[in-house]
Amino acid sequence: MGTGERTQLALVQANSRLGDTAANLEAVLETIGEEVSAGSQLIVFPELTLSGYFLKDLTQDCALRLDGPELERLRRAAGSASVLLGLVLESPDFEFHNAAVLISGGEVQLVHRKVYLPTYGLFDEHRYVASGDRFQVVEVPLGGGQSWRLGVLICEDLWHPSAAYLLSRQRADLILCPSASPGRGVAEAEAELGSAATYGAMLRTYAELFTVFVAYCNRVGFEDGFHFWGGSRVLGPDGKLLAGPLDDGPGVLRCALDRRELRRARIAAPLLRDEREGLVRRQLERPPRG
């Protein structure tokens, strides 16, 4: 009893070949095949898996279209599994986005276009891609006849708590976080890499405060001297670590998610029920005075 409440999640913590969409597509198709055989029902890849991250002027060369042959192959390969995949997406009017596409039931169910494009420090995203305009939850069946409400935050989206909040208000069950986070901060005083510590704190906070499953899937490898630190992990709706974190090498993190955890967590801490959404709306519209 209860197996219908569970789904098998696989986070594919992989390297990509920078700018080589064809090679990356073949690797992704092979992995999808392996994960489908292994019984994974939701397969998540890192941010910009099909292109690599620090693309600069390669951005346009690596862009794919939703109606292109690559998406067609991915939809067929997914079969009855669901797949979340990061890529540069080109719109019919020639805008480019850092996007993640959720394929389920052989169709694209959600396209999340990264809203927060870091353009400071070592990042330069907004020079090359356009910003998305929404955070959206979709409901997809993930085996056993149960539907799951999924939302996506790509890397820098996580640094804006309003993004996770908006997914929470749409009653997300699971927030998927594909990422290409370069590692920095090697101070002895820290327990781990500085960027890993920050992500760890954010992911845990969102999982616990929004009583939601959170799955973080980061890149590994090097691009132009930048080190992607991996650390993929799954957190339960009580904020506890369910699987991972992986180290900074390639690997697949598999984890069974049980929807009954959501129920238990939300009974123990009914934070979603108690949230004063109307108050938030009113105060954003009209900040209180005095």
Partner 1 sequence: MADLAIKPELVAGILRQFVREEVLKVGARGVVVAVSGGIDSALSARLGVDALGPEAVTAVAMPYRESEPASLADAQLLARQLGLELQVLEITEQIDAYFRRFPEADRARRGNKMARERMSVLYDISSTRSALVLGTSNKSEILLGYSTLWGDAAYALNPLGDLYKTQVFQLARHLGLPQPILDKPPSADLFPGQSDEAELGFSYAQADQVLFHLVDERRSPEEVGELGFDEGLVERVWRRVRASQFKRRPPLLAKLSSRSVEQDFRYPRDWGY
CA 251 to chain centre: 16
The answer to whether 234 and 257 have CB atoms below 8 angstroms apart is yes
Smallest gap from Cβ 179 to partner 1, in A, equals: 18
DSSP assignment, residue 146? -
Smallest gap from Cβ 59 to partner 1, in A, equals: 10
Q: Which is nearer to partner 1, 41 or 59 (CB)?
A: 59
| Joined tokens for residue 196 | 């890993």
Smallest gap from Cβ 18 to partner 1, in A, equals: 5
Smallest gap from Cβ 55 to partner 1, in A, equals: 7
Q: Which is nearer to partner 1, 18 or 81 (CB)?
A: 18
Contact residues: partner 1, CB under 8 A: 17-19, 52, 54-58, 183, 186-190, 192-193, 221-225, 227, 248
Q: Which is nearer to partner 1, 46 or 151 (CB)?
A: 46
Q: Which is nearer to partner 1, 58 or 108 (CB)?
A: 58
Q: Which is nearer to partner 1, 142 or 193 (CB)?
A: 193
Q: What burial letters (b/e) apply to 31-52, b meaning 16+ CB within 10 Å?
A: bbeebbeeebbbbbbbbbbbbb
CB atoms within 10 A of CB 63: 23
Q: Which is nearer to partner 1, 183 or 236 (CB)?
A: 183
Smallest gap from Cβ 182 to partner 1, in A, equals: 11
Smallest gap from Cβ 124 to partner 1, in A, equals: 9
DSSP for 71-136 reads HHHHHHHHTTSEEEEEEEEE-TTS-EEEEEEEEETTEEEEEEEPS----STT--HHHHSBPP----
Smallest gap from Cβ 33 to partner 1, in A, equals: 26
Distance CA(204)–CA(234), nearest Å, equals: 10
Q: Which is nearer to partner 1, 159 or 222 (CB)?
A: 222
* Structure-token match 């794919």, residue found: 64
DSSP assignment, residue 80? T
End-to-end CA distance of the chain: 57
Q: CA of 126: how far to CAs of 14, 55, 97, 133, in Å?
A: 24, 12, 10, 14
